[in-house]
Amino acid sequence: MYFRAGYVADTLQKSLDTHASDMTKYSCSATCIQAMVLLLVLSGASMARQGQDPVGALKPAVDEQVLKGIHLLYNRQFDEAEALFQAVKARFPGKPAPCFYLAMVSWSRLTAGFWCPAMVGQYKERIDQTVAVARARITEGKGDSFTYFYLGGALGFDGRFELMKGNWITSFFLASDAIEALKTCQEMDPDNKDVLLGLGTFDYYTARLSGVLKFLTYFLLHKGDKEEGLRKLTIAAHEAVYSATEAKSMLLHIYLFLENDLVKALSISEDLSETYPLNSRFRVLQGVSCIRLGKDAQYREIVSGLKEQGRHSKAKEAAAAWRKRALYLESIADLFGRDYANARIKLWEILASQDPEHDPAMIAWPRIKLGMSYDLEGDRDRAMEFYEQVLDMTNAAGAQFLAQKLSKKPPRKEDPFLGY
């Protein structure tokens, strides 16, 4: 694979340059490949069969610690997860698993909005260490199924990093290498259901690519299969030990933003919201599912629940964050209801109490929504002002990817990404 990537890189770059007219299609496809790489890597949150230790030894106590750490991450208790995985690393030096989970802590902070240069640097350093440790074990003849699993996850992370820098070809080949590592893991441990998260993600998203990226999939002899991808993800969501939550999260985003299967999206979002009560993201997406299904009473109940969570939060910052999510969800309802003026009132209320230290997401994402509101009214120049503000931010909380897409093409009246 490494030879193949090097052999064709120059040719593919020339192809991209030649197909400059396809760049609008390419940029839209970027959302798919971004999700492919970005969510593929979190298959590294899984390992092998129940009862096995994540570092390759039969130590159920450590296994339970890793499961606890994963729960902490999805419940957005990042400091606690960091401490737990640091302790696991101290007990098992020289193993890729603890390195990977510390990288997962950094990635989870990024996805929560802490997309500052220092956190990106920590994320890159930790994932590079995971790759180095895994490859060293393989070179030494110590590579077991766990080693290939974490290598696959880490290569996916590395691909995501290259995607952030705009290195599309490098990112694609890293994703392909990740899949090869995951397939090796599956060959060594056929009963592993967790590995289906990464394989299913790759199947689904490669099937959705177009333009030059579609050419890449043909060159790699992997055309993708959307239904097969969904099948694998569904199995992982129900049967995987460690990656079930990420498989559910993946399916939620697919059904809500790509497949328009809103009934399934609502069911999954309800499950995730109940399991992770401190994760406001799952609660908001549950509300978005209700909005799009026309379940107004349920939507209003979720808004009330977000506000109530804020009132009961002991920390001032947490209370403000929950209140802002309620306003953000209400603004989404206004955008879908085409009440753009009221949407802006709520969004400006969020921005009136900005907290870059504790809640950077509610600085960048309300600006995306403000831009959308003006685009939907036909005021493209005003909309572009907000997208450019996001692109100029030091910490754009992940919103920069949607800002790039919207800068090239405005949203439609019923665009699912109004609810993102």
Question: Would you give per-residue pLDDT tens digits along the chain (420 residues)?
Answer: 333 334 334 433 444 344 333 333 333 333 333 333 333 333 333 333 333 445 544 345 557 888 999 999 999 999 999 999 999 999 888 899 899 999 999 989 988 899 888 998 999 999 999 999 999 999 999 999 889 988 988 897 787 677 666 677 787 788 878 888 988 999 999 988 888 888 888 888 878 865 555 555 555 545 678 999 999 999 999 999 888 998 999 999 999 999 999 999 999 999 999 999 999 999 999 999 999 999 999 999 999 999 999 999 999 999 999 999 999 999 999 999 999 999 999 999 999 999 999 999 999 999 999 999 999 999 999 999 999 999 999 999 989 889 999 999 999 999 999 999
Q: Are 335 and 373 in contact (CB under 8 A)?
A: yes
pTM, two decimals, is 0.83
Q: How far apart are CA 287 and CA 295, in angstroms?
A: 9
Q: Where are the domains of the chain?
A: 1-239
Q: How far apart are CA 136 and CA 95, in angstroms?
A: 10
In CATH, 1-239 is 1.10.3470: no
Q: How far apart are CA 161 and CA 248, in angstroms?
A: 23
